[in-house]
Amino acid sequence: MFEFTITATDGSARCGRFVTPHGAVDTPAFMPVGTAGSVKGVTPDQLRGTGTRIILANTYHLCLRPTAEVVRDLGGLHRFMGWDGPILTDSGGYQVFSLAEINEVNDDGVAFRSHVDGAPVWLDPLIATRTQNDLGADVIMAFDQCPPLPADGRVIQQAVERTLRWAARCQEAHTRTDQALFGIVQGGLDVDLRRRCAEQLIRLGFDGYAVGGLSVGEAFEEMVAVLGPTAASLPADRPRYLMGVGLPRDILAAVRAGIDLFDCVLPTRNGRNAAAFTPGGPLKMRNERHRRDPEPIQADCDCTTCERFSRGYIRHLFNAGEMLGPTLTSIHNLRFFQRFMDRLRTLIRAGRLHAIVEEYPIAAAPTPD
């Protein structure tokens, strides 16, 4: 039911094919984020048209509304969303970090105050896993504790210990053979701690492995220093997923380290805020200089937005408060990311991954100050 095959390598970078019950995904792959069961501003057909093959949804948000039971009773997450491709659900562990002001963590789980109405919400390994079983995604994540960075070493150590205990409980609670369960490596910026965490997760045995707890406050160089040895400590025959990282430069650095899967809200968040990705850097679509510009956002882009609409028109939509502006820019951004991933795969197969920064200067590492 699940199969992962490496098809090409270039150094530590690799191309693969990840087969799931709802279709195959060529890796490295980027997953747009549909937190509450919708990739904001685009329909499933528009999403498919960008080249997207796998998307992400979030357990914490869906268990608040409409609840996992409602999703289950309406036919599961694929039918609920109208998306027939693979879906991955986060366990809610990231919200331990992002909603730290409204939660309390202990060894058993996490007590939240709902960001919707303030009602108490309890998440633990059993609930997070059973909730994801009800949602029915192809790939589900073990419940983990994602600490902020920087953080005291004792805080990082405690988060790793909890993550490992919770991972074992998630395995015990997991009941569906048509869902792959991924373990999550924590450890902050401590490479030895991350290796030890990975070793213990591997002993438990998961269908894939994620690297969590990055892009939460550390510098680019710090992230890169952790990624290489962490990815190298994970099994070569299982998918490797870097959670919540989405800048092109970060994706490239992680691909070079041997990571296969990525997710981020940037394409649609930036799209809603009038920022369009291009190989040379972002364009601010509200700028006056676009008022009479007849050119598309990106001349060689094959997305619907660039094939039919001008920069001048898109600027007008934003300034007029029209919903179509965020939608068109999001479609372009999603296609930009999928074309970027496709180009990474092509260059890896050719043994020329180094050439990507010539075509996508936006992916170059930042120059030190």
- The Cα 65–Cα 83 span in angstroms is 19
Q: Which of 90, 124, 134, 138 is catalytic?
A: 90
Q: Which amino acid is present at 202?
A: I
Kindly name the residue from 138, 144, 260, 263 that is annotated as catalytic: 263
| Tokens linked to 134 | 């009800």
The amino acid sitting at 258 is: G
Q: At 271, which helix (H) or strand (E)?
A: helix 266-272
Residue in this structure with the two tokens 């200089």, named with its chain if needed: 289
168 close to 115: Cβ distance less than 8 angstroms: no
What kind and span of H or E run contains 20?
strand 13-20
Cβ 364 vs Cβ 77: under 8 Å: no
Establish whether 10 is a catalytic residue: no
Residue 203 and residue 169: Cα distance in Å, rounded?
14
Element (H, E) at 212: none
* Whether residue 263 lies in the annotated active site: yes
Give yes or no for a contact between 261 and 29, defined as CB atoms under 8 angstroms apart: yes
Angstrom distance (rounded) from CA 285 to CA 289? 9
SS3 303: coil
Classify residue 237 by burial, with Cβ atoms within 10 Å: 0-12, 13-18, 19+.
exposed
Say if residues 163 and 145 touch (Cβ distance below 8 Å). yes
Helix axes 311-319, 324-350, angle to 10 degrees: 140
The span from the CA of 347 to the CA of 325, in Å, is 33
E strand or H helix that includes residue 295: none
Active site residues: 90, 263
